[in-house]
Structure 1
Amino acid sequence: MPKRLKLTRRFPVAMTNDAYRRLNRFAQEAEITPDEALTFVFEHFNSVTDHENLNHRLRLFKAELPERKA
């Protein structure tokens, strides 16, 4: 029996315009809501990410943060 989709946890999220547009594009392509899209990504995080690529991208992102915040 599938797990029930009950969106009980809410949190304020701040993201870049690019990230927001990408989330909405993914949700639209998958024919689900943005809330459902985020739920899917995080419930299946290990299977939808490549561990090596994730670590590399995270290092790049963290290195760029000071410039992006300026």
Structure 2
Amino acid sequence: MVKRMRLTRRFPVALTEDAWRKLKRFSDDAGLTHDQALIFLFENFGSVTDESNLTHRLRLFKAELETD
């Protein structure tokens, strides 16, 4: 394994069914493992998200959390 890709941090993750399906679809389409797909998304977070859309989506998500 490439030194840069050595996995040094692990954390338990719980996903909704929708989130799991989207992660699986993304990783399959990109030819990556689920771990590699998450690494890519987190390491490139700023360039794969639109800041104004992210802020709006985050506000909606938080509102949904408060209603549960």
TM-score by length of 2: 0.90
Shift of 1:8: 1.6
Cα 1:3–1:51 change in 2 (3 A) is farther
State how far apart, in whole Å, the 2-side matches of 1:15 and 1:66 are.
18
Aligned counterpart, 1:39: 39
TM-score (norm 1): 0.88
Compute the RMSD of aligned alpha carbons.
1.5
- Map of 2:48 onto structure 1: 48
Alpha-carbon spacing, 1:3–1:55, altered in 2? closer, same or farther (3 Å): farther
Q: 1:24-58: per-residue Cα shift (whole Å, max 9, x none)?
A: 11000000000000000000000000000000000
Detail structure 1 runs of 4+ shifted over 6 Å in the superposition: none
Count of residues paired in the alignment: 67
